[in-house]
């Protein structure tokens, strides 16, 4: 959500800024802009719309300079517009600011600044920062101190990049609850909200923690805490490469990432068993019998797609281990005064490791004495650093806003965590463990089998059902959770009204919505619940709905009630969710593509939700 990039060096900063902003488009945004300092003047170019609009503006009205900051904005305060786009100026145009996050007390500060004579031209909370920095800068002409004092006044979240005409060789950056890194180059340095923005130039960076500042010059970086004390940090080296952020011949990143799932599942299983294959190894996590002995409940907390991965974990842990598991949306968890303590294990799941609500839930859990296990993809992220233990999902870089391979990695992680806890507490026999392990080892080839064989049929189904206005997804048990994720994907990228329902709940209200134009996707992979779900599909079929079913190979009787069927390879009951979701991803992808939507960057959505 929003993106920041900054450059100081010997090159013209504009191409670097545009390249960086283009690499951050996956984060979601509605306007873009740059501020470039040259010959004592800051020139700002910004516009509503995509980075390509900004590039066109720069061709018409070019600027250049060796110091610059850029931004992609996702509107919070004020509608998307040229005026509300970042960067923002101080009134005398000596200071320019870019900002990710939300200034919660901006109205109070704005009233104070207006009383001092400052004029506001936008509706944003960020302009308050520009004027407040200017206010403190006028006290002693010290840019770093002005930013530091500003941070003491503002409440909320921020990642900031600040430049000043009196400091042509300096870029000041700061963060709190919104990610920001400082990239290290040779004779040049950078700031960015995520590594892809600078991956063409460096893979080394300082990761700023909350309430830390950076003074960045082309050949020097100094780091400070909020009190102005200089601090030392280790340089973090990213293992991602430029190729990971490219489409590699695929039409969209989403399609590329769907096809990367066999490797992702394989990577997440590799080296996570002992050499004899009889035990799980969770990356050195200290969560053995001793630590688990005092745990009497588990909370799994996440947002969006990660929340559905957590629901799968809840179902499996309760069934295999017998420990009560609550699964909560992170934004609700924080405000319900959860009944957790030192006897609670809290598992937080986040692809980016920067999800604001999930990070706040983690902090709350630790305040209450709970042990926190993070399941994240981004190494060195805020959630990874603050958790007691972290299990990395090894999905590689995911660019498409709609998560696919990260979800499969998270589900695989939940399989491993469940088996680990079950083993440590003696809740699973060696025979059952071996059976599940053998099924796990087949998953990568089975995912590949679906990708190889199912696409032609799914393309046909998309052509058949593309006129659908209302789509229901139904299932029972684990299939219900898979239905939630399938429905979400269709909403996210195809913009179709879609709702998931527990199949047994249809008669309690939702069946009233069924009519002849309704498409019902029935997920029927749980053998123990197959007949019951089939019966529910018969009910909607009798009321005129069209039925597209997802079932395991061999369950041919589903064809008695379904208009069309997608079969997945047979597997252990606890592993069907991962396989059943692959056809749903493909269905949503091709539906969105054929409807002419921007698949990788769906409207109003952001990849990393760093504000509440």
CB distance 394 to 379 below 8 Å: no
SS3 content of the chain, % helix, strand, coil (to 5): 40, 25, 35
* CA dist 73 → 51, 121, 176, 288 (Å): 11, 17, 18, 44
Query: How many Cβ atoms sit within 10 Å of the Cβ of residue 503?
Result: 29
Q: What's the token pair of residue 163?
A: 């430049």
Residue among 132, 130, 155 at smallest CA distance from 44:
130
Which pLDDT belongs to residue 309?
A: 98
φ, ψ for residue 280 (rounded to 5)? -85, 140
Angstrom distance (rounded) from CA 192 to CA 467:
42
Q: What's the token pair of residue 313?
A: 């974990």
Q: Give the number of residues written for the chain.
A: 612
Sheet order of strands, 88-89 included: 88-89, 95-100, 158-164, 171-176, 212-217, 220-225, 230-231
* CA dist 37 → 164, 321, 555 (Å): 8, 60, 67
User: Left if phi > 0, otherwise alpha if psi is -120 to 50, otherwise beta: which for 156?
Assistant: left
H or E segment at 297?
A: strand 297-302
Q: What is the mean pLDDT of each run of 10 residues along the chain (612 residues)?
A: 90 96 79 96 95 95 97 84 92 95 93 96 94 96 97 93 97 92 96 89 92 97 96 86 70 94 95 90 86 94 97 97 96 91 97 90 96 91 92 90 96 97 95 97 97 95 94 97 97 96 91 89 96 94 94 96 96 98 98 95 71 53
What DSSP string runs through 464-509? HHTT-SEEEEEESTHHHHHHHHHHHHIIIII--EEEEEEGGGGGGT
Q: What is the per-residue burial (b if ≥16 Cβ within 10 Å, else e) of 180-197?
A: bbbbbbeebbbbbbbbbb
H or E segment at 263?
A: helix 261-269
Angstrom distance (rounded) from CA 123 to CA 24:
24
Which pLDDT belongs to residue 34?
A: 97
Q: What is the per-residue burial (b if ≥16 Cβ within 10 Å, else e) of 80-108?
A: ebeebbbbbbbbeebbbbbbbbbbeebee
> What sign has the CA pseudo-torsion 12, 14, 17, 20?
negative
Angstrom distance (rounded) from CA 235 to CA 208:
11
Angstrom distance (rounded) from CA 175 to CA 230:
15
φ, ψ for residue 460 (rounded to 5)? -65, -40
Q: Provide the CA 327 distance to its chain's centre, in angstroms.
A: 18
* CA dist 60 → 37, 63, 81, 138, 325 (Å): 18, 10, 19, 35, 58
User: Left if phi > 0, otherwise alpha if psi is -120 to 50, otherwise beta: which for 380?
Assistant: left
Angstrom distance (rounded) from CA 553 to CA 285:
37
Range list of H helices, 368-454: 382-386, 405-424, 430-453
Which pLDDT belongs to residue 242?
A: 57
Residue among 333, 392, 292, 104 at smallest CA distance from 383:
392
CB distance 3 to 100 below 8 Å: yes
Angstrom distance (rounded) from CA 482 to CA 286:
31
Q: Do you find a cis peptide bond into 123, omega within 30 degrees of 0?
A: no
DSSP 16: H
- What domains can you pick out in the chain, each with its CATH number? 3-245 (3.60.20.10), 253-451 (3.40.50.10490), 454-594 (3.40.50.10490)
- Active-site residue list: 2, 607
**In a 10 Å sphere around its CB, with 0-12 CB exposed, 13-18 middle and 19+ buried, how is residue 457 labelled?**
middle
Q: What's the token pair of residue 433?
A: 């463990």
Residue among 149, 197, 188 at smallest CA distance from 34:
197
């Amino acid at each position: 959500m929003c993106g920041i990039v900054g450059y100081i060096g010997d090159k013209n900063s504009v191409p670097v800024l545009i390249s960086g902003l283009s690499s951050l488009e996956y984060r979601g945004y509605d306007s873009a802009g740059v501020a470039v300092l040259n010959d004592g003047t800051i020139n700002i170019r910004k516009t509503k719309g995509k980075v390509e609009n900004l590039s066109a503006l720069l061709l018409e009205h070019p600027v250049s300079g060796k110091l610059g900051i850029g931004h992609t904005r996702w509107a919070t305060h004020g509608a998307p517009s040229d005026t509300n786009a970042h960067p923002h100026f101080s009134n005398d145009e000596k200071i320019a600011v870019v900002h990710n996050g939300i200034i919660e007390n901006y109205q109070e500060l704005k009233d104070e600044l207006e009383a001092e004579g400052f004029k506001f031209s936008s509706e944003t909370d960020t302009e308050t920062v520009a004027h407040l920095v200017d206010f403190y800068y006028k006290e002693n002409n010290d840019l770093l101190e002005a930013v530091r004092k500003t941070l003491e006044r503002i409440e909320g979240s921020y990642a900031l990049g600040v430049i000043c005409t009196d400091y042509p060789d300096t870029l000041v950056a700061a963060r709190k609850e919104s990610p920001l890194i400082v990239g290290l180059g040779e004779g040049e340095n950078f700031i960015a909200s995520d590594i892809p923005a600078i991956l063409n130039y460096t893979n080394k960076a300082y990761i700023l923690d909350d309430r830390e500042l950076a003074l960045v010059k082309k050949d020097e970086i100094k780091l400070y805490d909020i009190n102005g004390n200089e601090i030392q940090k280790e340089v973090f080296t990213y293992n991602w490469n430029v190729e990971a952020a490219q489409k590699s011949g695929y039409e969209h990143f989403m399609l590329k990432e769907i096809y990367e799932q066999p490797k992702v599942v394989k990577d997440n299983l590799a080296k996570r068993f002992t050499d004899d294959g009889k035990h799980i190894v969770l990356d050195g996590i200290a969560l053995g019998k001793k630590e688990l002995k005092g745990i009497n409940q588990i909370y799994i907390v996440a947002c969006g797609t990660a929340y559905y991965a957590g629901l799968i974990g809840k179902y499996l842990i309760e069934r295999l281990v017998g420990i009560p598991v609550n699964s909560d949306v992170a934004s609700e968890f924080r405000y319900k005064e959860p009944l957790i303590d030192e006897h609670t294990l809290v598992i937080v799941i986040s692809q980016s490791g920067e999800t604001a609500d999930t990070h706040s839930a983690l902090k709350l859990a630790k305040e209450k004495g709970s042990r926190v296990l993070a399941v994240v993809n981004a190494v060195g992220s805020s959630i990874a650093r603050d958790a007691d233990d972290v299990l990395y999902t090894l999905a590689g870089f995911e660019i498409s806003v709609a998560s696919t391979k990260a979800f499969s990695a998270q589900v695989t992680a939940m399989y491993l965590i469940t088996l680990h806890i079950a083993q440590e507490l003696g809740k699973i026999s060696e025979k059952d463990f071996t059976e599940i392990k053998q099924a796990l080892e087949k998953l990568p080839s089975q995912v590949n089998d679906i990708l190889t064989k199912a696409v032609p049929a799914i393309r046909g189904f998309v052509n058949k059902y593309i006129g659908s206005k209302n789509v229901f997804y139904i299932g029972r048990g684990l299939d219900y959770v898979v239905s939630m994720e399938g429905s979400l994907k269709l909403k996210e990228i195809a913009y179709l009204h879609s709702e998931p329902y527990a199949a047994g709940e249809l008669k309690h209200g939702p069946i009233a919505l069924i009519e002849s134009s309704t498409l019902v996707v029935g997920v029927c992979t749980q053998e123990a619940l197959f007949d019951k779900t089939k019966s529910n599909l018969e009910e909607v079929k009798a009321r005129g709905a069209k039925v597209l079913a997802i079932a395991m190979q061999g369950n041919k009787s589903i064809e008695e009630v379904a208009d069309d069927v997608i079969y997945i390879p047979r597997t252990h009951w606890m592993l069907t969710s991962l396989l059943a979701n692959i056809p749903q991803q493909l269905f949503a992808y091709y539906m969105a593509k054929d409807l002419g939507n921007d698949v990788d960057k769906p409207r109003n959505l952001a990849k990393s939700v760093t504000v509440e």
